[in-house]
Structure 1
């Protein structure tokens, strides 16, 4: 019988996927070199490059070992699609006999205590899949007036999203909050024993982590939330446009709805009253823009995008959200 998780020595793989963002990847790896390492654990880093060419292999090799002694391993997954790359990371972690797979994104940086807190959350409860908050990183360059409005709006949106339901989310219960792979810890046994993997049929649509979470819940696997394990996501100028925010909200909305429809849990026709009501709210938010000094601008655009995603369901629209890379 294996030792309880509180006492067991854990093997941990921290994985990130990357595609044509060498500067952001370097900043993430640098931040991983500054993390505190949890006691009674063996930790390794893994970069999965989702591209036809091994463009980041030399960069990863020259940055390893990291400042704290971690080794950064590199693999290339040339089947394009986030789920292919995530499953490649899972297979690599399993082959390395890792008990735990952790995901963080290549456009993020982690706080020094992030991993210690995430692993402490895992050890202290019974959850087999856990997540933590993602907040907006400070801008790295001078922003225009509109970009500052969007950046500030995103910072407030991310923070409100993380605080929503904070009273009900615990280390032993994620309380229905979808655990995104931007700050994610799971037992590798979910793959090997429960046979739950990321859905590769989604291609470049995104939403693979949302579907994974729902399958975990359906299998009765306990999930949890570690509120103080923080990571920060960069917002490059390409994302600080109203067009990008509209498309991002649209594609996330339609991907979520397709998943519900295809699982038989939602009729698209029931959306019509909601589309009408939310469209009216878009108008109200637009009217309020001059009276709120622009604070309702971003919520208006994001809600309009979400409504467009709902309407797109009726026309067979499918997201290709991750075809284009933003950031450097």
Structure 2
């Protein structure tokens, strides 16, 4: 009997979801697998319904309206349908990305060959003309996953993944009923915390560098301020990797030392834009870790009205 892979796609007021669905329509299914696509619309009104239902796809596409201006609500709505279908696997992709025809094939092949429960792939940025040179050269907008430490899962440091490009075993697992945290659904980092939780439950992680997806970087993201806010939130989310008081204290001490170091280096290279911004953004990340250790409130991102062009849909790191 063929195994089922459900592709989970959450959207919020993005016309680019049509381009994402068009690329998903051309996916090749691995031998012995079937594919379906589940789209959750997080807008207050079903604004994406016509784009989703008008998409001509090779695979069944289901649309669900999951309003709340909270991305976790949309993710959980997708998972609920996948559970009802007894999907063996679920794949995550964002509504501003396009995927190659062999994307799922590569993820499944890696999962089978490594006996992994979660496989991550890179999300590569495509920069528009006029992007600052330092931003392109340092490639701040791409997401290159990596495993933490030598061990994996509960045998070593806890692992995580990001919803921009990931495959996860679902049916019959210990984490089948796990949901995304609603409290993180307006701030971002809900995917980081979700996969950290799976790691602690014994999920094994792997990386497939060949399973790449591609994202056009929006003009409003080509700002140092945008990147700073993103890095700070990433640091806050990363703090979820330290369970318990003592672990958070140790992480906070390390983060503080790194903040001080980055601040010193930033000041020393102040006249040089590329090097200055590199160390400034590293410092902001560690500052976010420090804030996360002290459980300081995270900024609202999803559904927020922000005056600097910060997108309401995603700020994953």
Is TM-score (shorter-chain normalized) higher than 0.5?
yes
2:263–2:280: 8 Å Cα contact kept in structure 1? no
Q: Deviations over 1:19-72 (max 9, x none)?
A: 0111x1111111112322222211111111112110000111111x32xx2232
Over 3 Å counting, the alpha-carbon distance change for 1:151 and 1:34 in structure 2 is farther
SS at match of 1:326: coil
State the TM-score, normalized to the length of structure 1: 0.80
Matches for 1:39-50 after TM superposition, within 5 Å: 39-50=31-42
Matches for 1:9-48 after TM superposition, within 5 Å: 9-22=2-15, 24-48=16-40
Matches for 1:308-319 after TM superposition, within 5 Å: 308-310=287-289, 312=291, 316-319=296-299
SS at match of 2:206: strand
Aligned CA RMSD, in angstroms, stands at 3.1
SS at match of 1:319: coil
Structure 1, gaps ≥5 residues long: 1-7
1:196 aligns with 2:178: yes
Matches for 1:233-252 after TM superposition, within 5 Å: 233-252=215-234
1:279 aligns with 2:263: yes
Alignment equivalent of 1:299, drawn from 278, 301, 306: 278
1:254–1:317: 8 Å Cα contact kept in structure 2? no
Structure 2, gaps ≥5 residues long: 305-309
Aligned residue-pair number? 302
Q: Deviations over 1:100-135 (max 9, x none)?
A: 111001111111211111122223332112111111
1:205–1:255: 8 Å Cα contact kept in structure 2? no
Over 3 Å counting, the alpha-carbon distance change for 1:176 and 1:150 in structure 2 is farther
Alignment equivalent of 1:86, drawn from 40, 53, 75: 75
Over 3 Å counting, the alpha-carbon distance change for 1:95 and 1:249 in structure 2 is same
SS at match of 2:274: coil
- Offset, 1:276: 1.5
1:99 aligns with 2:88: yes
1:126 aligns with 2:115: yes
